Amino acid sequence: MSQNKQASFTLDGKTIPYAEGQTIIQAAMAAGEYIPHLCFNPEFKPHGSCKLCTVKANGRQTASCTQQPQPGMVVESDTTEINDERRALLQMLFVEGNHFCPSCEKSGNCQLQATAYELNMMSPHFDQFFPDRPVDASHPEYLLDFNRCILCSLCVRASRDVDGKNVFALSGRGIKSHLIVNAKSGRLADTDFTGYDKAAHVCPVGVILKKRVGFTVPIGSRSFDEKPISATPHPTVKGA
Amino acid sequence: MNAPVKKLKVATTSLAGCFGCHMSFLDIDERLLDLVQLIEFDRSPLTDIKHCGPCDIGIIEGGLCNAENVHVLREFRANCNILIALGACAINGGLPAQRNHLSLAAILEEVYHAQHGLVDGFIPNDPELPLPLDKVHPIHEVVKIDYFIPGCPPSADAIWKVLTDLLAGREPELGHGLIHYD
């Protein structure tokens, strides 16, 4: 390959150019292609934890948010096999928490819900865990509803890497992993968290919610009511 | 002379639901007239038939919050070739399942004993009352469900789409705009 010819790989048969250092999902997004994802956000270093963005690269499964492409790599994403596995991952996320969309302020703007629509998730399939996760309404401006946390760690990364505050952390291991607030009391009100923090605006689901604006935009007129997530630019790159 | 078309038998019920899904079903409006050319109702709140005979399609609204719900669900499964979960409560427990993080004893205590204004309250124990379940469960945790129509309630168009797909012998499919969890 000559020096000035841009390297490329194929995604479901389409040629996708990429720059040195880009991962598969970054190059795909830049080319306007959608690969389902939840913990990936183009503004943050990939975390590689939700596995929704799994693709087959040269026949091997890998997270496309962390995998860099190779010239001529054959990447498969929108296949029955991979979408079936993605749907099963979503179903596990749904039963592990308490995801009751009809009573959630984030409904219609929720990436978990929109991704489940995209992948035709008609039921949770598995048995519900119905965990007990009390909400934290201590902060005057923001509410934390842990019932909906999918452990994407975007708030952790935003608070630590952008805000320099370390308000959030993931604690525990395996099935006991959960989101915590770094305060002696464990309450958001006892941290220096504010609505100006990046961490206040990155939650892909309905955990970190600004109070008193929940239904300003009525259900039915929200982002993913208008267009499916595959046709919606990432919230943080909208208008880019 | 054309032989009369054999109508498919359809049964419906509301378990731990609010009848909102049935109201949404009625929202198919004048299409009901087309539908009754193709189906006839067996057990349903619309017919007031109390028990379900052999049916082609059973439609279940609501989850399982008491023992009677489980009996009704099993009756439907035993009699219906195709069983459809209609709406959020049937699919994941929905609003009634919001009690699941509380103990049943604490709930009964709060409702019948502790609440302000109750004098000499007692927990109802008439043998005719179905016993509440410890937790509210979605119906797929108890019997096999063939198709799911999510939504709170599912739109009339979503219900119509699934029914007409099934009546035409197609695999039901809800695209963007019809698949909704809220």
d(CA B140, CA B148): 10
Q: What is the mean pLDDT of residues A160-167?
A: 97
Task: Please tell me which of the candidates A116, A128, A225 has its beta carbon nearest to residue B93.
Answer: A128
Instruction: Among B95, B97, B182, select the one facing A108 at the smallest CB separation.
Output: B182
Q: Which chain A residues are within 8 Å of B101, Cβ to Cβ?
A: 130-133
Residue A240 has pLDDT above 50, yes or no: no
Q: Are A142 and A210 spatial neighbours (Cβ–Cβ below 8 Å)?
A: yes
Residue A225, Cβ neighbours under 10 Å: how many? Answer: 20
Q: Which CATH number fits domain A8-78: 3.40.50.1220, 3.40.50.1100, 3.10.20.740, 3.90.10.10?
A: 3.10.20.740
What's residue A239's pLDDT? 36
- Specify whether the CB–CB gap between A9 and A72 falls below 8 A: yes
Give B149's contacts in chain A (Cβ within 8 Å).
Answer: 122
Q: A190-213 pLDDT, tens per residue?
A: 999 999 999 999 999 999 999 999
Which of B104, B161, B180 should we substitute to test contact with A (largest number of A Cβ atoms within 10 Å)?
A: B180
* Chain A contact present for B137, CB below 8 A: yes
Q: Report angle CA A90, A94, A96 to the nearest 5 degrees.
A: 115
Determine the Cα–Cα distance for residues B91 and B138; give it in Å rounded to an integer. 5
Cβ neighbours of residue B180 closer than 8 Å, sequence gap 6 or more: A117, B150, B151, B154, B155, B158
How close is the nearest chain A Cα to the Cα of B94, in Å? 6
The residues spanned by each domain of chain A are 8-78, 83-219
Pick from B92, B149, B150: CB nearest A128:
B92
Q: For tokens 């795909």, name the residue.
A: A28
Which residue in the set B148, B177, B180 is minimally distant from A123, CB to CB?
B148
pLDDT at residue number B3 = 67
Yes or no, beta carbons of B95 and A102 under 8 Å apart: yes
CA distance B9 to B99: 35
- A1-53 pLDDT tens trace: 445 678 999 999 999 999 999 999 999 999 999 999 999 999 999 999 999 99
CATH topology of domain A83-219: Alpha-Beta Plaits (3.30.70)
Per the structure block, which two tokens stand in for A104?
């959630």
For chains A and B, CB pairs below 8 A equal: 72
pLDDT tens-digit map of B41-92: 999 999 999 999 999 999 999 999 999 999 999 999 999 999 999 999 999 9
Give the model's pLDDT for residue A237: 46
ipTM of the modeled complex: 0.94
The single residue listed with the structure tokens 């799994």 is: A54
Q: Global pTM? A: 0.95
pLDDT reported for residue A3: 55
To the nearest whole Å, the CA of A61 is away from the closest chain B CA by: 28
Beta-carbon count within 10 A of A100 CB: 22
A40 CA: distance to closest CA in chain B (Å): 23
pLDDT for A100-155, tens place per residue?
Answer: 999 999 999 999 999 999 999 999 999 999 999 999 999 999 999 999 999 999 99
Predicted local confidence at residue B105, as pLDDT:
94
Strands (E), chain A: 8-11, 14-17, 54-57, 60-63, 74-76, 142-144, 168-171, 178-181, 208-210
Q: φ, ψ for residue A198 (rounded to 5)?
A: -60, -35
